Structure 1
Amino acid sequence: MKNLIIDIRLLLGLACAHALIYFSFHDKAIFWYIFTGSILALIAYSKFQGDVDDEASFGQYILVGAISGLLIYFIFWLGIKGFELFNIPFQKDLNRLYKWFAPHLFWQYIALILVAAPGEELFWRGFIQKRLMNYFKPAISIVLAAVLYATVHIYSGSWLLMLAALLSGFAWGLLYYWKKSMPMAIVSHIIFDIMIFIIAPFR
């Protein structure tokens, strides 16, 4: 624990992530401009800290990445149905999230697929989770990284987005640890985003 406390690179990375994501959510009118720049900054920071794992073949990370992305989407769909079944109020929050933060312009969809999804995986799984592995057992590292990933979403003002980040972060963290393949985690994230924002949104 002592070494974790003095891990300046990890702490600085988390501080930068919170600051950048805070400013991203601060002004909804320019969210996608600031968010895209913020993720690019986090990509740059994470790449200076070391290499990520890439132990799967092209065919493996495309196939398993696509299947896992669809599976995570299906789990979220079941969650939505569960909210409806138990009359948990969520629709207003969900509609607000899509209205304020979902991509609407063509360049925003490109940024989502080519910047946001890869960048979040490179930073939160490739850097934060991998760094935590130096101090904790894998299970604890995966859960802790998912919790930290969820905390930056507090600035959205949405409990639903925080919950979604926690669950998806855990799923991608588990996938990354299991298959030791960053491209696989990125493909999974991209497929999930395509489903939830383009093909079959929940709104």
Structure 2
Amino acid sequence: MKKCFQDIRLIFGFIIAHALIYFSFHEKTIFWYIFSGSILILIAYATLQGEVDDEASFIKYIFFGALSGLVLYFIFWLGSHALQLMNLPFEKPIRKLYRWYAPHEFWQYIALVLVAAPGEEIFWRGFIQKSLLKYIKPFLGILIGAILYASVHIYSGSFLLVFAALISGFAWGLLYYWKKSMPLVIVSHIIFDMMIFLILPLK
């Protein structure tokens, strides 16, 4: 575990991510402009550190990616309905999240598919998690990677978004470790985002 703190590239990348995502969430009216640019910087940083894994065939990564994205969305859908049944006050926070950070314009959906979803996976799973797994056991590395991914979402001011990032980050971390395929995880992330933002929003 000590070696993780001695990996300068890992620590520096994590600090950069926090700084960029902080500024992204700082001004809601221009969130998608700053966030898209921030993710492009993180993609560039991650790709300079090494290659990501790509061991699945085209058919496999499309199939498992789409399936896992739908399953993850269904888990979130069940969770939202369970909260409704328990009469917990979550509807207003969810509506705020959609109003503040969900894509609303066509170019924002393009940025979501072509920049945000791929970039988050390339950086957080392809770089951060992969770096952690050099030093610690898989389950712990995946869990810590998910916690680090969730940690940058604190600047949104929403516990729900942090929790959602933790759950989805852990799921995508497991998927990446299992299938060793970055395209597969990117497809999963895109399908999940399209379901939750466009096709069947949870608000």
Deviations 1:65-105 (A, max 9, x none): 00000000000000001111112211111000000000011
Runs of 5+ in structure 2 lacking a partner? none
Determine helix, strand or coil for the equivalent of 2:51. coil
- 1:52, 1:202 → 2: CA distance? 32
How many angstroms apart in 2 are the aligned matches of 1:98 and 1:5?
36
Letter of the 2:184 partner, please give it: M
The CA deviation at 1:116 is 0.2
- Indicate the residue corresponding to 2:160 in structure 1: 160
1:112-153 CA-partner distances (Å, limit 9, x unpaired): 000000000000000000000011100000100000000000
Partner-residue secondary structure (3-state), 1:5: helix
SS in 2 for 1:48: helix
Alignment of 1:14-163 (within 5 A): 14-163=14-163
Q: Separation in 1 of the partners of 2:39 and 2:49? A: 16
**Could you tell me how far apart the structure 2 residues matched to 1:21 and 1:5 are?**
21
CA deviation string 1:145-195 (max 9, x = no partner): 000000000000000000100000000000000000000000000000010
TM-score by length of structure 1 reads: 0.99
Q: Could you tell me how far apart the structure 1 residues matched to 2:2 and 2:74 are?
A: 41
Unaligned runs of 5+ in 1: none
**Count of matched residue positions in the alignment of Structure 1 and Structure 2:** 203
Letter of the structure 1 residue corresponding to residue 69 of structure 2: G
Aligned partner of 2:185 in structure 1 is: 185
Distance 1:121 1:164 in 2: 15
The two structures, once aligned, show a CA RMSD in angstroms of 0.6
Say which SS state the counterpart of residue 135 (structure 1) adopts.
coil
Give the Cα–Cα distance (whole angstroms) in 2 for the partners of residues 2 and 129 of structure 1.
16
CA distance in 2, matches of 1:5, 1:103: 36
Aligned residue identity for 2:187 = V
Percent identity between matched residues is 68
TM-score between the two structures when normalised by the length of structure 2? 0.99
Write the letter of the residue equivalent to 1:156.
Answer: S
The CA distance in 1 between the partners of 2:101 and 2:165, in whole Å, is 14
AA partner of residue 136 (structure 1): I
